[in-house]
Structure 1
Amino acid sequence: MHPRPRKVLQLLRLRQINNGVFVKLNKATLQMLRIVDPYVAWGYPNMKSIHDLIYKRGYAKVNSRRIPITDNSIIESALGKYEIICVEDLIHQIHNVGKYFKQATNFLWPFKLNNPSGGWTKKTNHFVEGGDFGNREDQINNLLRRMI
């Protein structure tokens, strides 16, 4: 792999295969996603997908340690000053890309997902060519459901 896409993957906190993160889509991140397009599948998740990811695969980053999100006290102690006191507030902040989106996503450890049930269809082709990588828009929800 060329060093440039490798560096962009590290900036996006995607250091392992089948990892997932939430990213605010703006001009800068769109350019970054174009660079790593052949290596990632991305899209716009709905509220249910975000909910399932956080409840089933969600881990918090507290003092640089990976801690499972078992109750709201972990969230309140770390994000209480940002008006996020429970898991539902965290989900709402991420789904609506609120003003504390960056703090909410940095609080979450990158999600470790499984291979999709049924496998990848054509991981060497772009999504618009019938493959798996690239911008899936709303179809990312189907992929996430198979990977959780």
Structure 2
Amino acid sequence: MALQILRLRQINNGVFVKLNKATLPLLRIVEPYVAWGYPNLKTVHDLIYKRGFAKVNHRRLPITDNNIIEEALGKHDIICMEDLVHEIYNVGPNFKAASNFLWPFKLNNPTGGWTKKTNHFVEGGDFGNREDQINKLLRKMI
């Protein structure tokens, strides 16, 4: 149930989530099943440009031009890809609208595979809070 609330319905899916009092308990519940952390600007940029799809009328559409973004998010002053990247990275006031506009990212298995799926990241495994190390994992998955 918590995975569905976070829009994580398939293996190797990825979403942007604002870390606050409401989402932290959800992340604690799903922690044995997900890797999470704080992506840098380059990672956010690469994810949106390489793996980004828009959710328009409950359909998954490739973001081929800025018109798709402007039609859906123009009222939030997000009119192009760079505005979308900026809003997501800086967790701006329209983060929720921008994040919900993006279809959950479908990522590959990391190059070289998972190391220890059953152990927490702190114990040398894969799941849990990776903080800044999430960037290294996402590079292998994009």
Which TM-score band applies after superposition, normalised by the shorter structure?
A: over 0.9
Could you list the structure 1 runs, at least 4 aligned residues long, displaced by more than 3 angstroms after superposition: none
Q: How far off is 1:28 after superposition?
A: 1.5
Q: 3-state SS of the aligned residue for 2:55? A: strand
CA RMSD of aligned residues (A): 0.4
Which of 103, 108, 132 is the equivalent residue of 1:109?
103
After TM superposition, the score normalised by the length of structure 1 is 0.95
Which of 123, 127, 138 is the equivalent residue of 2:121?
127
Aligned to 1:38: 32
Q: How far off is 1:87 after superposition?
A: 0.3
For structure 2, the residue ranges without an aligned partner over 5 or more in a row are none
Tell me how far apart the structure 1 counterparts of residues 80 and 54 of structure 2 sit (CA, whole Å): 13
Q: How far off is 1:39 after superposition?
A: 0.2
Tell me how far apart the structure 1 counterparts of residues 126 and 38 of structure 2 sit (CA, whole Å): 15
1:38-65 residue CA offsets vs partner (Å, 9 max, x unmatched): 0000000000000000011000001111
Aligned to 2:139: 145
After TM superposition, the score normalised by the length of structure 2 is 0.99
The aligned runs of 1:1-148 (5 Å cut-off) are: 7-148=1-142
Q: 3-state SS of the aligned residue for 1:27? A: coil
1:9-61 residue CA offsets vs partner (Å, 9 max, x unmatched): 00000000000000000011111000010000000000000000001100000
User: Identity of paired residues, percent?
Assistant: 81
